[in-house]
């Protein structure tokens, strides 16, 4: 299958035109897309897709095992009501409510800088988000390249950060982003808390990225609270400078694939409730960060 690939920014990202994955795709094509995604720094938009849920899941499995796959971890309990009723591998994001009063998806998902599921021992690698319905304007998603942000630091700062570890805890987002009543008790039992290197290396190409995010990182291991906060505040300011960003303006049918190991993202919720937004996401379980 022929397709055209164009860079999205000077630094990272690629967009693909001319593919119709709904008409079927070979393992070779899927593996080529995974390779092109790695080469593009872990951000790829495949335009104009009408994938079924089964095809979305099948393509996602070429990146790795999925949260919700048989014998794999589900996402945290707090979001279980947003999982697709027929496909536990699909997490739904939406501002809409069904006629039975149940939400069609998590409203306001990811409206803060974060890396998906960074609070697990094996956090997310790729997330594959398929835009089914989007508002006429707004609802963009912004990505920040944490490999470029790391590279831009001085050698002295890299030497300070390289040996450090940080704690990631779903409770940070639960406290600041979720209404208290939806926090399930068993989200606090330790499964959603993990210690990761502050600078992680992608095994595919040995590139290093900052790996802390305001959504889920609670503190840097072994430092006083004030020291930890000062470093995190510096990194959060540093890592969202304009030269590290790409802002995606969605079209219906866009399939956006990002690498949570080297990108943070932020969903901009600037659209009203009467303008529907409905997206489906498969989330790939990554390796233990090193
Ligand atoms: C997410 O964090 O997965 C949601 C992104 C979006 O809705 O744009």
Question: Is the shortest distance between the CB of 283 and ligand 1 below 6 Å?
Answer: no
**pLDDT for position 81:** 87
Q: Quick one: which H or E segment has residue 218?
A: strand 217-220
Q: If you average pLDDT over residues 164-184, what whole number do you get? A: 78
**Per-residue pLDDT at 184 exceeds 70:** no
User: Residue 13: which residues within 8 A CB-CB, separation 6 or more?
Assistant: 7, 40, 41, 43, 44, 45, 143, 246
User: Which residue's CA lies nearest to atom 3 of ligand 1?
Assistant: 110
**Per-residue pLDDT at 9 exceeds 60:** yes
Please give the residue that has the higher pLDDT: either 62 or 77: 62
* Token duo for residue 126: 């790729």
Measured over the CA atoms of residue 109, residue 112, residue 116 and residue 119, the dihedral's sign is: negative
CB 200 within 8 A of CB 259: no
**Per-residue pLDDT at 163 exceeds 60:** yes
Which of the residue ranges 103-112, 146-155, 232-241 would you say has the lowest mean pLDDT?
A: 103-112
Query: pLDDT grade, residue 187 (50/70/90)?
Result: low
- The closest-lying atom of ligand 1 relative to the alpha carbon of residue 281 is 3
Ligand 1 centroid distance, CA of 222 (Å):
32
Question: Is the shortest distance between the CB of 141 and ligand 1 below 6 Å?
Answer: yes
Distance of alpha carbon 40 from alpha carbon 8, whole angstroms = 9
**Per-residue pLDDT at 79 exceeds 70:** yes
Question: Is the shortest distance between the CB of 279 and ligand 1 below 6 Å?
Answer: yes
Return the ∠ at Cα 16 (arms to 14 and 22), rounded to 5°. 140
With residues binned 3-state (H G I as helix, E B as strand, rest as coil), the percentages for the chain, rounded to 5, are 25, 30, 45
Ligand 1 centroid distance, CA of 102 (Å):
19
Give me the percent of the chain exceeding a pLDDT of 70.
96
Query: pLDDT grade, residue 171 (50/70/90)?
Result: confident
Q: How far is CA 8 from the centre of its chain?
A: 18
* Mutate-to-test residue for ligand 1 from 91, 109, 178, highest number of ligand atoms within 8 A of CB: 109
- The closest-lying atom of ligand 1 relative to the alpha carbon of residue 127 is 3
Ligand 1 centroid distance, CA of 109 (Å):
6
Of 282, 250, 279, nearest to 95 by C-alpha is: 279
Question: Is the shortest distance between the CB of 109 and ligand 1 below 6 Å?
Answer: yes
3-state secondary structure 90-120: EEEEECCECCCCCECCECCCCCCCECCCCCC
Ligand 1 centroid distance, CA of 265 (Å):
8
**Per-residue pLDDT at 92 exceeds 70:** yes
Return the ∠ at Cα 250 (arms to 52 and 146), rounded to 5°. 100
Q: What's the pTM? A: 0.95
**pLDDT for position 182:** 52
Question: Is the shortest distance between the CB of 60 and ligand 1 below 6 Å?
Answer: no
Give how far Cα 97 sits from Cα of 82, 184, 222, Å.
11, 21, 44
Please give the residue that has the higher pLDDT: either 98 or 76: 98
Give me the percent of the chain exceeding a pLDDT of 90.
85
**pLDDT for position 181:** 47
Q: Could you give the domains of the chain?
A: 4-285 (3.60.130.10)
State the CB neighbour count (10 A cutoff) for residue 218: 18
Give how far Cα 202 sits from Cα of 16, 38, 206, 259, 273, Å.
23, 10, 5, 10, 39
* Token duo for residue 243: 């030269």
| Torsion angles phi and psi, residue 38, rounded to 5 | -60, -45
Mean pLDDT taken over the chain: 94
Strand order in the sheet with 165-169: 193-197, 165-169, 217-220
**pLDDT for position 127:** 98
Ligand 1 centroid distance, CA of 107 (Å):
10
Q: If you average pLDDT over residues 37-66, what whole number do you get? A: 97
Q: If you average pLDDT over residues 118-143, what whole number do you get? A: 97
CB 114 within 8 A of CB 265: yes
**Per-residue pLDDT at 164 exceeds 60:** yes
DSSP string for residues in 133-153: E--SS---EEEEEHHHHHHTS
């Amino acid at each position: 299958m022929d397709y055209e690939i164009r860079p999205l920014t000077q630094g990272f990202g690629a967009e693909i035109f001319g593919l119709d994955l709904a008409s079927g795709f070979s393992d070779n094509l899927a593996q080529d897309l995974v390779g092109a995604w790695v080469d593009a720094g872990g951000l790829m938009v495949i335009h104009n897709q009408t994938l079924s849920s089964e095809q979305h899941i099948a393509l996602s499995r070429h990146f790795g095992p999925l949260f919700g796959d048989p014998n794999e971890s589900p996402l945290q309990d707090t979001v279980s009501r947003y999982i697709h009723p027929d496909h536990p591998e699909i997490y739904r994001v939406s501002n809409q409510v069904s006629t039975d009063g149940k939400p069609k998806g998590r409203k306001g998902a990811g409206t803060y800088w974060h890396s998906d599921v960074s609070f697990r021992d094996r956090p997310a690698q790729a997330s594959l988000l398929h835009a089914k319905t989007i508002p006429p304007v707004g609802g963009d998603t912004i990505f920040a390249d944490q490999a470029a942000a790391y590279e831009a630091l001085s050698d002295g700062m890299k030497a300070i950060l390289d040996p450090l570890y940080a704690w990631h805890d779903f409770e940070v987002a639960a406290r600041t982003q979720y209404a208290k009543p939806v926090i399930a008790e068993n989200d606090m039992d330790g499964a959603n808390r993990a210690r990761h290197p502050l600078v992680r290396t992608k095994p595919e190409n040995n590139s290093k990225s900052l790996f802390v995010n305001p959504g889920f990182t609670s503190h840097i291991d072994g430092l006083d609270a004030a020291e930890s906060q000062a470093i995190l505040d510096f990194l959060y300011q540093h890592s969202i400078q304009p030269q590290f960003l790409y802002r995606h303006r969605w079209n219906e049918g866009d399939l956006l694939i990002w690498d949570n190991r080297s990108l943070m993202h932020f969903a901009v919720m600037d659209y009203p409730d009467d303008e529907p937004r409905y997206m489906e996401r498969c989330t790939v379980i990554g390796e233990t960060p090193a």
